[in-house]
Structure 1
Amino acid sequence: MKILEVRSRIYLACGLLLIGVLGVLSSVCAYTADIPAGEMSFQYLWAGKTNGLFAICGIVSVIIYPKAHLYLQQFVTWSLILWGCIEVFWGLGQLLGFLSSNHYLFSITGSFYNPGPYSGYLAMIFPIVLYEFLCVSDVVKNKSTSVVYYLLCVIMSLLICMLLIGMSRASWFAVLISCFFVCSIHYSYFNSLREKWYLYCKRMIVCVICIFIILSICCLGVYYLKKDSADGRLFIWKITSLAISKRPSGYGEDSFLKIYGETQEGYFKSGNYSKKEELVAGSPQYAFNEYLRIALEYGIFVLIICLLVLFYFLSEGLKRKYVGLCGAILSLMAFSLFSYPLSYPSIVVTAIVLLLTCVSEKSSIVFIVFCLFIGGIGICWDNEDTYMSDKKWYRY
């Protein structure tokens, strides 16, 4: 009887935790036609509610079974794969004409309003699927593991197709970096390369040079694929860097638009600009580089602290062999170099869950603090709700 009682407590605790994880990560698919596609108020409202749900489910699950937090990594992994699959089929439906796109210029956007962040989200899911595939491929012996193996094959194929169709160069870069990372850890490439370097030093140097030449050609090809877009982003980074150099301590929260406009105006008044820069200049809403945006708004010191925190969580995740989740974090970090993923509450929540999953195994106390932190974010977003006013404005 005691064994049955313990099992029932474990199942109940794990069930509650799984509901919380599925809920908090579901904000990526929070979509409504009641407001314009680019407005985030409904997603913030949804994320606020589901963050609270996760906090309650997580704390109650640990109370019921103190070791429930040990299952978090698996729940997060497969929940992200599930929501990634939903996004893939959402994009396929738009591509085939069964569902409408959220942007009149692009055929696929998923639940987002632009193929850029949509591709960035899929790029974050890809290393998780890849790592699970590599792990399963090592132990394919019976029917149950072979079913998972072929299922992951299909998911990876669909992800690759949607990433290629999305035409987001930032997502391609993020996938390459994260996949190299996952494969290097799984197959211990670094150790074998170090051994071969000592044995075949000259051959390795030739290989490095060849790889560098191939990568340079590929980078040029990607640059000329959307040359005007690339030039525009380079100019945005230049102006943003000029603004940062004037005040390294930062200009304050949500100051990017104002400061960028003033800095760009001053730059053109100086007269030291080229004809190409004049053509690509505009009034961008985003910095297309989250690191530069953080440095501009909050200062270089805050940016350094953020990077140190990120690397700490990555190191903790690697200690626990959470290679897939660490690959997803690295993918988001790489994507943030060229885009604006932190403007989406769904990606922010996903990033927080990924980071804190890396340390949640330490103790149930750490996990409870983690739940309270996410719940606190949910309360803030819930209190700042503007969905109903946006809905009324859009309707009238």
Structure 2
Amino acid sequence: MVSRKLLFLLSYSIFISIFLINLIYSKSIYNGVYFVKIYFLFYASFVIIFLELFILLKADKIKYRFLIIDILFISLLTYLILTIHLNYLLIFLLLNFLVFYFSFDFIKINSKIIFFTILIVAVIESFIGLLQNYGFDFTALATFYKIVGTYTTPTLFVACITHALPVVLALYYLNKNENIKNIILFTIGLILLAVLLSGIRAAWLAAFVGIGLFFLLKDLNIIKQWLSKRHIKIFTVIASLLLIMFLTLMLYYIRPASANARLLIWRISLNMIKDHPITGIGLGNFAVQYMNYQAEFFKNPANIEHWANVAGNVNHAHNEFLQIFVETGILGLLLFLAILFFTYQDTFRLIRANRLNEEDRLIIIGSISAISSILVLSFFGFFLYFPYLTIFFIAYLAIIGSILKKYQKGIIEFHLTRSVHLTFLFIITALFLQIAPKMYKEYKARKVWQQALILALYKQPELAIKKYNQIYDTLKDNGEFLFMFGATYVSIDSCQKGIELLERSKLNYNNPKIYIALGNGYEKSGRFQKAIKNYQIAGYMMPHQLYPHYLLAKLYHKIKNDKKAISEAQIVINKPIKIDSPAARQMKEKMHVLLDKLKKDH
């Protein structure tokens, strides 16, 4: 029989390795940066859950003790699971978050080891990012952006490293060895430089807040000697508000177009909330619904005039609080805010009480400062949207919870027997056996998908379609796959098949390109009114783009509706070019030619 000690060691090792999943990526499968991380997270999660439940079977009874933040965390994840419709992978990942959170108590994870693991991840990511910034990109991921680490955008890159700064500071003060302290100082400089060069303004603010709060809480006793408790509260609130307002305004004026784009997203997101205020539109459905709301918004000409140039193809609210509200409603948002409120309240109360030993004090200060950094990032971007990044947030919550339990009583305590744990083991195993084969098939299918995409890009659509057909049964519910498959059929004039796939893709994927492809398909098959409708939707979704109006002008000319052809041609000619390109200039030139021809004919 495997010993309990060995099972603990295995669980501990895999638990630590989950943070390192952020460094994994693949160029051989479609969307390999995101999906490979999820793939490894899924299997590592199951192994941890299985090992921990197996450990529990070796004991007759296990005592559980919950704080209020534990109960709120369970409540939030339970609520999210109940709102999911037949997405087994998402359900399993949420269960993993639950086990991951309570593993800190169960396995007695050493917080310093977690901090060092986070330091390693942040340093490696920062080093990769800095190499990319200076032209050495061995990852081949920095295609559209200069610095991305093992991700695809600078936003995700800084999301992985910025929160580590207060953690590294905690390690600096925890170590007495001068050589180690000097190495840690160097890593702080490395991470700060990577954050600065990323150009992400929210990350600069997040780094400032994380570091600032760390030193404020670390030196709280010194500050208390100078100010009363009441004065400290007033000073902290006023100084924080003024500083955040100043920095936010400063960051806004550095890149106002980007800031205005977020304001547009938030405005349209509020329209989504108005339609689904209580339970939201469903977890993961923001990307499916947003562009429809944006198209509706731009049907108003006044909105086009003021907002068209900052509109984009959006799949995230660029504000986690707003995203939670949109997808889970007021119930989900209140549960999330309640977790934050009690975490901050209990943490600050414990720090002020001076009951913590030095190690616990620095660990809990580092954790709450890291959470604050994450929340600042989450207000301007996305963090919790990606499961492999969410792991960091949950780890900090769990570390704080485990320290709080040393110094305060739980509000609920109970025992669970071996039979209950055995039941959990059967349920988790059954769920794993349901999902694991699908995950493996999807992993292999995405390799073929990548091959098909390359064939389509290199003008070999017939070969691409053969590849797409090979994996259709596996990916037939993936909207992005159906879009690419359908668009490829339309490109070779197999319009009916392409239209069927494209119409189905809209059920769980939303992109203006779907409507352009549908318009092409309907136009080629002679269904001109449907083609016009789809081109118009694409135009409303992305009102700054010339292409939908260019296609409409050509189609109206084709069906001899000269009045509307002139109107659309003038839109193309008069619309400012957002991103200059030969294609954009060529469209404008062709519309000038068309307009001259139509005017001569009349």
Q: CA RMSD in A?
A: 3.8
**Residues 212-268 of structure 1: CA deviation (Å, up to 9, x unaligned):** 777655433321222211110111011101221232121223321343223223322
**In the alignment, what sits opposite 2:408?**
none
Find 2:250's aligned residue among 221, 244, 266.
221
Q: Is the 8 A contact 1:14 1:71 kept in 2?
A: no
Superposition pairs of residues 349-360 of structure 1, within 5 angstroms:
349-360=391-402
Q: Is the 8 A contact 1:26 1:83 kept in 2?
A: yes
Q: Is 1:393–2:449 an aligned residue pair?
A: yes
**Residues 145-189 of structure 1: CA deviation (Å, up to 9, x unaligned):** 112211110110001000001111121222122222211211107
Q: Is 1:238–2:267 an aligned residue pair?
A: yes
Compared with structure 1, are the counterparts of its residues 198 and 333 closer, same or farther at alpha carbon in structure 2 (3 Å cutoff)?
A: closer
Find 1:49's aligned residue among 43, 61, 79.
43
Tell me the secondary structure at the aligned position of residue 147 of structure 2: coil
Superposition pairs of residues 347-386 of structure 1, within 5 angstroms:
347-360=389-402, 362=405, 379=432, 382=436, 385=439, 386=442
Q: 2:33 and 2:297 mapped to 1: Cα distance?
A: 31
**Residues 79-126 of structure 1: CA deviation (Å, up to 9, x unaligned):** 111211221222233234152441312122111111111111111111
Tell me the secondary structure at the aligned position of residue 309 of structure 1: helix
**In the alignment, what sits opposite 1:325?**
367
Superposition pairs of residues 1-396 of structure 1, within 5 angstroms:
15-16=9-10, 18-37=12-31, 40-56=34-50, 69-96=107-134, 97-136=136-175, 140=176, 145-188=177-220, 191=224, 194-195=227-228, 218-249=247-278, 250-273=280-303, 275-314=305-344, 319=350, 321=361, 322-360=364-402, 362=405, 379=432, 382=436, 385=439, 386-396=442-452
Q: 2:389 and 2:437 mapped to 1: Cα distance?
A: 20
Q: How far apart are residue 270 of structure 1 and its match? A: 3.8
Bigger shift: 232-241 or 182-191?
A: 182-191
Q: Is the 8 A contact 2:25 2:34 kept in 1?
A: no
TM-score, with length taken from structure 2: 0.54
Asked which structure has the greater RCO (Cα within 8 Å, sep 6+), the reply is 1
Indicate the structure (1 or 2) with the bigger Cα radius of gyration: 2
Bigger shift: 262-271 or 311-320?
A: 311-320
Count of matched residue pairs: 372
In the alignment, structure 1 segments of 5+ residues that lack a partner are 1-7
TM-score, with length taken from structure 1: 0.80
Bigger shift: 179-188 or 274-283?
A: 274-283
Q: Is the 8 A contact 1:314 1:358 kept in 2?
A: no
Bigger shift: 280-289 or 50-59?
A: 50-59
Bigger shift: 147-156 or 188-197?
A: 188-197
Q: 1:352 and 1:383 mapped to 2: Cα distance?
A: 28
Tell me the secondary structure at the aligned position of residue 114 of structure 2: helix
Q: Is the 8 A contact 1:124 1:328 kept in 2?
A: yes
Which amino acid is 1:184 matched to?
L
Q: 1:328 and 1:23 mapped to 2: Cα distance?
A: 20
